[in-house]
Amino acid sequence: MKQYVFEIVRQKWRLLGVIAFIILLNVTFSVVISAYQLPLVATLQTKWSDLRQKAARSGKVDAATLYQMGTADLAKLTAAIPEKREFARILSDLLEAAAASNVEVGAISYKPEQLKEEPLLSYQLSLSVNGSYAGVKSYLSDLQNSQELLVVDMVTFSNSDLYVESVVMDVRLTVYLRGGA
């Protein structure tokens, strides 16, 4: 029996050396992981949890401070809403933005409505613009980044000719104004 084992070792010594090396590597990695990495990971997870808890606690404010911050933000918003008499200027700004974006404005219609909850007027504007895709996209970006209290409610795009880059964008906007004279 010993002769058979010695014969196998003599013939397959390279394979057995590779297997022994792999076993040694496996044992070494297991020792490194269990002795060094697992405690380090546990320590880092504890630190991470502590930092997350501190960050969560630092963001909390008491109700009175939160109320004061909300009241100040509301005052800023109210001050930013233009008066009703500035509707013509806002409409002019929309037309200038269209010209700057190199698009043509078609028909514009609007319908004023008094809001019941607040002393505000909302103007529902509907307009269509026509131009290249880049121009229409630029105009839509200008609308969304407007300094006025303007909400883009709906946008539809159409292109009647597949071979000509002429996009028609129908937009429905809501502009909010203070109801003063």
Q: What is the CATH number of the domain that holds 132?
A: 3.30.70.60
Check whether residue 134 and residue 49 sit in a common domain: no
Check whether residue 16 and residue 99 sit in a common domain: no
pLDDT tens-digit profile of 117-142?
A: 888 888 999 999 999 989 999 999 99
Amino acid at 13: W
Name the band, by pLDDT with cuts 50, 70 and 90, for residue 153: very high
CA nearest 107: which of 157, 55, 171? Answer: 171
Mean pLDDT of 49-55: 85
Check whether residue 89 and residue 148 sit in a common domain: yes
Q: What is the pTM (predicted TM-score) of this model?
A: 0.59
**Residue 131, in any domain of the structure:** yes
Distance CA 57, CA 139 (A): 43
Check whether residue 43 and residue 87 sit in a common domain: no
**Residue 64, in any domain of the structure:** no
Residue that has been written with the tokens 């010209």 in this structure: 99
Alpha carbon 125 to its chain centroid, in Å, reads 27
**Residue 68, in any domain of the structure:** no
5: pLDDT strictly greater than 80 = no
Q: What tokens does 164 get?
A: 């000509």
Check whether residue 93 and residue 41 sit in a common domain: no
**Residue 146, in any domain of the structure:** yes
Structural domain that includes position 133: 82-178
**Residue 70, in any domain of the structure:** no
Judged by average pLDDT, the poorest of 15-24, 61-70, 153-162, 167-176 is 61-70
Check whether residue 48 and residue 114 sit in a common domain: no
Please tell me whether residue 14 adopts helix, strand or coil conformation.
Answer: helix
Task: Report percent pLDDT > 90 for the chain.
Answer: 39
Name the band, by pLDDT with cuts 50, 70 and 90, for residue 22: very high
15: pLDDT strictly greater than 60 = yes
**Residue 72, in any domain of the structure:** no
**Residue 136, in any domain of the structure:** yes
Check whether residue 54 and residue 90 sit in a common domain: no
Amino acid at 169: M
Mean pLDDT of 55-73: 81
Q: What are phi and psi of 160, to 5 degrees?
A: -80, -25
**Residue 75, in any domain of the structure:** no
Check whether residue 173 and residue 93 sit in a common domain: yes
96: pLDDT strictly greater than 90 = yes
Check whether residue 127 and residue 45 sit in a common domain: no
Name the band, by pLDDT with cuts 50, 70 and 90, for residue 180: low
181: pLDDT strictly greater than 60 = no
Whole-number mean pLDDT of the chain? 87
Check whether residue 125 and residue 168 sit in a common domain: yes
Check whether residue 116 and residue 166 sit in a common domain: yes
7: pLDDT strictly greater than 90 = no
Bigger pLDDT: 160 vs 180? 160
Distance CA 165, CA 133 (A): 7
